[in-house]
C-alpha cells in the first residue's frame, strides 16, 4: 500500500473506532482521511478488502459481542445503543444474521443446542461458537489444562514508540513481514536487534474477528528525537499500572495463558482491564528458537461496582 494512502486509511479507521456509538456518514469519514467523498468508498474497498458499510457494521457487532461477555451488567438494549444501533430490534436482527446466534445465545452459551451458521462464515470463512468466548468452556473444548497465572504488577512510565500495522491481521505471514520491516528499521536507526524493546498491540479477539481482519500493531520503543516517517507511525505506551504474565512455549501455551489470565486472576484481583488493547512484549525470536517467550501485559484500572 502506498505510504500516504496507508496513513490516510489509518486515520479513517481511527475515526470510525472513536465514533462507533453514533451514526457516521461516508463524507465524515472521508473528510478525516483527506480523500474525496466521491472516490473514498472505492479506495476503502480496494485497500481494505471489504466495503465501508461492511467494515463499520462488523466492528459494531464485534464490539457488541465482547460487551455481552465482559459487561454482564449491561442490558442487551444498552449494548445495542452503545454500539451505534438505532434500536434493539435492528441490533437483534443484524447480530443474528451476522453471527448466526442471538445476543441471548452469547449470554447463555450452555443453552445453545446446535451450531448455527451466519454471515461471518459465508463472508470470511470464520467459524463462531458462543462458548469459545468464555474461558471455562474454551478450556473444555480445547482439551487443555489451565496454566498457572503468576501475575506481577508493574507501574510503567510512558514510552515513545515507532509503530507499524500488520496488513494481514494475525496471520503468521503478515506478522513476520511486519516485524521484519520494523526490526530492520530499528537497526537502521542504531537500535540493534538484541536491544529492542518490542511490543504488540493486539486489538481484536480472534474468537469473533476473522484472523486476517484482526488489528495488530507492532512497536518498538524509540528515543523522542528519532524521526518516524510513513509507513511507520509515532505512538505512545501509556503510563499506568500493568499486570504482566511471563509465558514461554508454543502458540497453544500462550493462548491458554491468556485465557487463564482473564478467567482466574482478573475476576479476583480487584482490578479490571482499562480501555486499552492487550499487549505482548516479545523477549525472543520464535523463528530462531522454535518457541515464543513473551510477557502478556494488560493495563489496569480499579474495578467499578
Residue 1, pLDDT above cutoff 80: no
Do 24 and 117 lie in one domain? The reply is yes
Do 298 and 155 lie in one domain? The reply is yes
Do 44 and 156 lie in one domain? The reply is no
Do 181 and 52 lie in one domain? The reply is no
Band (159; pLDDT cuts 50, 70, 90): very high
Give per-residue pLDDT as tens, 148-157. 568 999 999 9
Do 23 and 165 lie in one domain? The reply is no
Task: Count CB neighbours of 117 within 10 A.
Answer: 12
Band (305; pLDDT cuts 50, 70, 90): low
Do 173 and 122 lie in one domain? The reply is no
Cα angle 144, 148, 152; round to 5: 140
Residue 138, pLDDT above cutoff 70: no
Q: Is residue 59 part of a domain?
A: yes
- Using alpha carbons, select from 272, 265, 183 the residue that is nearest to residue 220: 183
Q: Is residue 41 part of a domain?
A: yes
Q: What is the dihedral of CA 207, 212, 213, 216, to 10 degrees?
A: 90
197: Cα within 13 Å, side-chain hemisphere: 9
Band (3; pLDDT cuts 50, 70, 90): confident
Do 192 and 101 lie in one domain? The reply is no
How many Å apart are CA 211 and CA 188, to the nearest integer?
A: 31
Give per-residue pLDDT as tens, 184-231. 999 999 999 999 999 999 999 998 999 999 999 999 999 988 999 989
Q: Which domain holds residue 240?
A: 151-302
Task: Count CB neighbours of 64 within 10 A.
Answer: 26
Q: Report the CATH number at residue 208.
A: 3.20.80.10
Do 208 and 100 lie in one domain? The reply is no
Do 63 and 163 lie in one domain? The reply is no
User: What local confidence, expressed as pLDDT, does residue 146 receive?
Assistant: 53
268 secondary structure, DSSP code: G
User: What local confidence, expressed as pLDDT, does residue 141 receive?
Assistant: 55
Residue 21, pLDDT above cutoff 70: yes
Q: Is residue 144 part of a domain?
A: no
Do 167 and 107 lie in one domain? The reply is no
- Using alpha carbons, select from 54, 68, 21 the residue that is nearest to residue 120: 54
Do 106 and 179 lie in one domain? The reply is no
User: What local confidence, expressed as pLDDT, does residue 241 receive?
Assistant: 97
Q: Is residue 220 part of a domain?
A: yes
Mean pLDDT of 4-11: 88
Do 169 and 267 lie in one domain? The reply is yes
How many Å apart are CA 220 and CA 231, to the nearest integer?
A: 14
Place of cell 436482527: 93
Q: Report the CATH number at residue 93.
A: 1.10.10.60
User: What local confidence, expressed as pLDDT, does residue 215 receive?
Assistant: 96
Greater confidence (1 vs 201) lies with 201
Q: Is residue 160 part of a domain?
A: yes
* Domain end residue (candidates: 95, 128, 161): 128
* Domain end residue (candidates: 128, 159, 175): 128
Greater confidence (263 vs 151) lies with 151
Q: What are residue 242's phi and psi, to 5 degrees?
A: -125, 140
C-alpha cell at 111: 443453552
User: What local confidence, expressed as pLDDT, does residue 147 receive?
Assistant: 53
Q: Which of 68-72, 118-122, 191-195, 261-265 has the lowest mean pLDDT?
A: 261-265
Q: Is residue 143 part of a domain?
A: no
* Domain end residue (candidates: 113, 128, 143): 128
User: What local confidence, expressed as pLDDT, does residue 266 receive?
Assistant: 87
Q: pTM for the full model?
A: 0.86
Helices (H) and strands (E) in the chain, counts: 12, 9
User: What local confidence, expressed as pLDDT, does residue 89 receive?
Assistant: 96
User: What local confidence, expressed as pLDDT, does residue 70 receive?
Assistant: 87
Q: Is residue 256 part of a domain?
A: yes
Band (59; pLDDT cuts 50, 70, 90): very high
Helix, strand, or coil (residue 95) = helix
Provide the domain count of the chain.
Answer: 2
How many Å apart are CA 202 and CA 187, to the nearest integer?
A: 24
Q: Is residue 139 part of a domain?
A: no
Which residues, listed in sequence order, are joined to residue 234 by a DSSP beta bridge?
162
Amino acid at each position: 500500500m502506498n505510504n500516504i494512502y496507508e496513513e490516510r486509511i489509518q486515520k479513517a479507521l481511527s475515526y470510525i473506532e472513536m465514533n462507533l456509538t453514533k451514526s457516521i456518514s461516508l463524507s465524515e469519514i472521508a473528510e478525516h482521511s483527506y480523500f474525496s467523498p466521491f472516490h473514498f468508498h472505492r479506495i476503502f474497498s480496494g485497500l481494505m478488502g471489504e466495503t465501508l458499510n461492511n467494515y463499520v457494521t462488523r466492528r459494531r457487532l464485534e464490539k457488541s459481542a465482547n460487551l455481552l461477555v465482559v459487561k454482564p451488567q449491561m442490558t442487551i438494549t444498552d449494548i445495542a445503543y452503545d454500539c451505534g444501533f438505532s434500536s434493539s430490534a435492528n441490533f437483534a436482527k443484524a447480530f443474528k444474521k451476522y453471527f448466526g446466534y442471538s445476543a441471548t445465545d452469547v449470554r447463555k452459551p450452555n443453552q445453545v443446542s446446535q451450531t448455527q451458521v451466519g454471515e461471518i462464515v459465508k463472508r470470511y470463512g470464520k467459524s463462531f461458537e458462543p462458548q469459545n468466548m468464555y474461558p471455562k468452556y474454551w478450556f473444555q473444548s480445547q482439551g487443555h489444562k489451565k496454566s498457572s497465572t503468576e501475575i506481577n504488577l508493574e507501574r510503567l512510565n510512558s514510552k515513545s514508540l515507532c509503530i507499524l500495522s500488520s496488513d494481514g491481521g494475525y496471520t503468521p505471514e503478515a506478522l513476520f513481514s511486519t516485524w521484519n520491516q520494523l526490526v530492520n528499521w530499528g537497526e537502521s536507526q542504531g537500535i540493534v536487534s538484541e536491544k529492542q524493546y518490542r511490543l504488540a498491540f493486539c486489538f481484536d479477539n480472534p474468537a469473533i474477528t476473522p484472523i486476517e481482519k484482526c488489528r495488530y500493531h507492532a512497536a518498538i520503543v524509540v528515543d523522542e528525537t528519532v524521526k518516524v516517517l510513513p509507513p511507520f507511525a509515532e505512538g505512545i505506551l501509556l503510563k499506568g499500572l500493568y499486570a504482566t504474565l511471563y509465558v514461554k512455549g508454543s502458540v497453544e501455551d500462550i493462548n491458554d495463558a491468556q485465557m487463564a489470565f482473564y478467567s482466574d486472576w482478573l475476576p479476583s484481583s480487584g482490578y479490571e482491564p482499562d480501555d486499552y488493547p492487550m499487549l505482548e512484549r516479545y523477549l525472543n525470536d520464535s523463528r530462531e528458537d522454535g518457541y515464543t517467550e513473551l510477557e502478556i501485559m494488560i493495563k489496569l484500572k480499579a474495578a467499578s461496582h
